[in-house]
Each structure stands twice: as structure tokens, then as C-alpha cells.
Amino acid sequence: MNTTVTDPPQDTHAHRDDQYHGNPQDRDALAGFRSMPHNLDAEKALLGAILVNNRAYEQVAEFLKPEHFAVEQHAKVFQAAEKLIDHGQIADPVTLKRFFENENSLSEIGGPAYLTDLAASAVTVINTREYGRIVYDLYLKRELINLGEDVVNGAYGGEVDETASDQIERAEQALYDLATSGNYEGGFQDFRSSVIAAINTAEAAHKRDGGLAGVATDFLDLDALLGGLHSSDLVILAGRPSMGKTALATNIAFNVAHNYSRSQGAEGAVVGFFSLEMSAEQLASRILSEQAELSSDRIRKGLLENEEFIKLVGASNTLHDIPLFIDDTPALTVSALRTRARRLKRRHNLGLIVIDYLQLVSGSANSRNDGRVQEVSEITRGLKTLAKELEVPVLALSQLSRTVEQRDPPRPQLADLRESGSIEQDADVVMFIYREEYYMERKKPSRRADEDEGKLVERLERWESALQDVHQVAEVIVAKQRHGPIGNVPMHFNGAFTRFGNLSKDHPYRQRFHGD
């Protein structure tokens, strides 16, 4: 927050008691007054350096903005210098005097004498960045004070439908935005540093079984094609309803978390699962069904025999320490999702994020007003930013449009993604699930008009043979991979246990993709 003064004082603190000779009670009240953090000398020295040598501006231009100055006059001088320098002109007391005269605001910054005074306060170009950091750091402290006041006022008041958890998430988001609004540690790095980082990644892949640089999913053919799920990647897993999107995502999440638990963190990763469609209990039931190899339908309906229930309880005991965290809050916004993911990263070293599913995430109010396409664009950009920020892979599920079922065979393509422009653009990997068995089951022949029994039987036999060829198999189509090849991955799928697995090498379905 800028403060208007005609001639900024040098003393940045409240007057001392020995400088005040009034009533003792007034003196005590004044002693308790705290001014907002600021350093006028640093601001003057920084502006003076820029006016004397415009190269000093390059040292702070990346992170320092006019609003970061405590004094309004200084903010206006910096903004004017910024405008002149960006247009290739010289910014010094003479050119700034002419600039403010044209703006009819010379008196607002203290006149030409104050510009000269600023130039006289200059530091060397070498020290400019350090002075800029001081100014920016004090700005952050002032904003923290303002943020704290907003939090307190919001807690005292607040809307009727606004819970304390909502206020906490908003405060966390505001804190994060403040922390990242002017990060002066970023920017270019020399190519040597980039090469060293690339070699370290390659070394990690070389040392790991299977040559994986990313998080292993335990699906061998998929890991071979992708090299695992890579840090900072946004991975989209899409499919029509009943294809098994949630099942595959749940299997991957469990495998990754189980590997982390089994190897004491040497392999796998801590998983955060945002389940916007299913409850945490339903998701846990799926995992139990998979691990105990019991029908999820029979578990849900209470049809288990005593021996089966004992088996279910035994499987649950082995899952207690799996680092899989589930958030089943419906209609989460991107902002809330990012806040919760950052919190999990800070507390439990999060290594993989799964979101089921993308279309159930809410954008900001502004993006919703601009239409669904704009809202999805904001969501996908937010998820990609989250992956880069936390340096973890983000696996987001997505629905496909009905157009895929108008083709024969109904194999999904990139164009079938709902609002596909932003999803396809922001994603590093796009995968589709395709189960031919699902569509084949719905093509059971029925008797045609004037068709004899023999013809119908013949067609039924051909249908049953074709159905048997695709029984309990699925296909993961990698349609986009930014850093690798695309391809098709055959997999085993057991619908009763909602479980995907590796398809045996001698399976006939595998011959479509491999000659081995």
C-alpha cells in the first residue's frame, strides 16, 4: 500500500519518546504505534541508481514493480523510468522532468528538485539487485500484514454459507500467490546446468530396473512405452463410460503407493487421489475387491460367504500403511485442488496426483462466465502448472464425446476429447482406453426377417468366436507423447474385480501389436 508524502523523511520508525514532550498518556499511546515496514533510503538509492545508469534497471526489472514501493512518489518515478527505458529512451532527471510535465503531475512527485535528490542518492549498479530485494521483501511484509487483517476480518464476519475450511483454503491460496508473485530466483540458467540435470535424469533411469526415469505403474508394456510417469508431466487418461478409466487409475495409484510402502520409499511414490465422482469409501472398496479378488458387486450387496469376508478383512489389514490419500470433496476448484496438493506435498512428500475426473473440476467464476471451453482451458493450464510446480506427474481422467461411438470400430482419437483443444495442447501424454469386448457384447446377432435357424446359428457362432478373442482384454492407446513414441498397449482386464493387469506374451490378442 503506497503512502503519499511531499518530502519523505529519513527516519522510518515512529518518533522516539525523547523526541516527544506532550502528555505522558499520549506518549505511551504513540509508543505502541507501529508503522508499516518500509525503507525510504533503500527506495531512494535504488531509484537514484536507475536514473544515473539505466543499466541498473535490468537488475530488478524481472521482479520489481511500481506497486512494491512504499511511497507513492517513488512508485510513479519507477513506473515512468520503466516506461521510458522499455521504449528505448533514457530515463534521467531531465527526461523524467519533461515526462511528468507532459503528464501534469510534476508536483505530485516533489518537483524537479526531488528528482535531482534521488539521483544524488544513487548506489552502484552492482548493489542495485540487493536494494531491489530489500524493497520487494518489505512489500511482502506489508502485504502479509494486509492479508492477516483480511483473514481476521473474514473470520469475524464471513458469509453464512462460507465455512472456516473455505476461509483457510482462500488464505492459503493468497499466501501462495503472494509467495510466487515476484520470484526473483527464476530466469535463465546456463546450458551447462541444464545438461547436468539431464545427465542426472538419465543416470537415474540407467540405475533403475527396466530403465524407467519416471514413476513405475507396474504395467510392463505401458511402462516400456512411456518410461514411467514423469515428474512435471500432465497425463490425460480418457475414455467413454464403462471403459475402465477409474479402474485403471485406481490400479496405477495403488501400485505406485504399494511400491513406496514395500520398499520404504526407495521405489514408488506417495499418491494423492482426488475423487470428484466416487466417495472415498467406494474407492477403497474397489481396491479391496481388486486385492482380495472378490466381486465388488457381491461386496456391495453383502453376498459374501464367511470365508470370503475373512479373506476381505485379511486383505484390508495389509493395506493400512499404503501411502494413498483420498480427497472426495465434490466440485473442487482448481485453486482448492492446488492448495490441498501443496499441503500434501509439504507434509507427506507427495509423488503422484490422480484426478477423477477433469470435467468435474470447477474453474474460477470468471472462466465459468466465459463459457465451458474457457473454463476447461483454465483447468488444464492449472493442472499443468501444478505438475511443474510440485515436480510430480499429474494423471487426470477425462470423458470422451459420443462421436467416438458413431464410428466402426469406435476407437477413440484425439478429436474425441471434450473441449479437446486445451486438453490436447496442455497434456504431455494423452491415453485412451478401448475395450472391444464392451462393444462386441452389444452386437449379439438377432434373427432377421425370413432368416432360417441355420443362418442365425452360424452368425451366433461367429459372434461368440470373435467375442472370445477379445474376452477380458483391453487396449491403452497412447495417442500423444510429447517426449516419446505413440503406440498401443494390450492389457488384461477383469471386470468382476475392476482390475487391469499385464497380458501374457502368448495371448492371441497381443499378436495384433507384437510379433513375439
- Please give the radius of gyration of the chain, using alpha carbons only, rounded to the nearest integer: 31
Do residues 212 and 223 touch, judged by C-beta distance below 8 A?
Answer: yes
Antiparallel, parallel or unpaired: β 394-399 and 234-239: parallel
Q: Tell me which DSSP letter residue 504 carries.
A: P
Number of structural domains in the chain: 2
pLDDT of residue 236: 92
**Contact residues for 233 (Cβ-Cβ < 8 A; gap 6+):** 214, 387, 393, 394, 428, 429, 482
**Same-domain check for residues 343 and 271:** yes
pLDDT of residue 431: 93
**Same-domain check for residues 176 and 220:** no
Asked if residue 200 is part of any domain, the answer here is no
**Same-domain check for residues 362 and 420:** yes
Asked if residue 447 is part of any domain, the answer here is no
What phi, psi does 447 have (nearest 5°)? -65, 130
Residue 314, classified by CB atoms within 10 Å of its CB into exposed (0-12), middle (13-18) or buried (19+), is exposed
Asked if residue 503 is part of any domain, the answer here is yes
Ranges of residues in the chain with a pLDDT under 70 are 1-33, 158-161, 180-191, 194, 197-198, 201-202, 204-213, 265-266, 364-371, 418-421, 447, 449-451, 512-516
For residues 511 and 506, give the distance between their C-alpha atoms in angstroms, rounded to a whole number.
8
Q: For residue 286, what is the domain's CATH number?
A: 3.40.50.300
pLDDT of residue 371: 67
pLDDT per residue as tens digits for the range 455-477? 777 778 777 777 777 788 888 99
User: What's the pTM?
Assistant: 0.66
**Same-domain check for residues 504 and 408:** yes
pLDDT of residue 272: 92
Query: Which range of residues forms the domain containing residue 108?
Result: 17-180
> H-type helices in 305-419, by residue range?
306-317, 334-348, 365-369, 372-390
List the end-to-end C-alpha distance of the chain, in Å, as a whole number. 69
**Same-domain check for residues 274 and 363:** yes
**Same-domain check for residues 364 and 485:** yes
Asked if residue 134 is part of any domain, the answer here is yes
How many distinct helices (H) and strands (E) make up the chain?
20, 9
**Same-domain check for residues 111 and 164:** yes
Q: For residue 176, what is the domain's CATH number?
A: 1.10.860.10
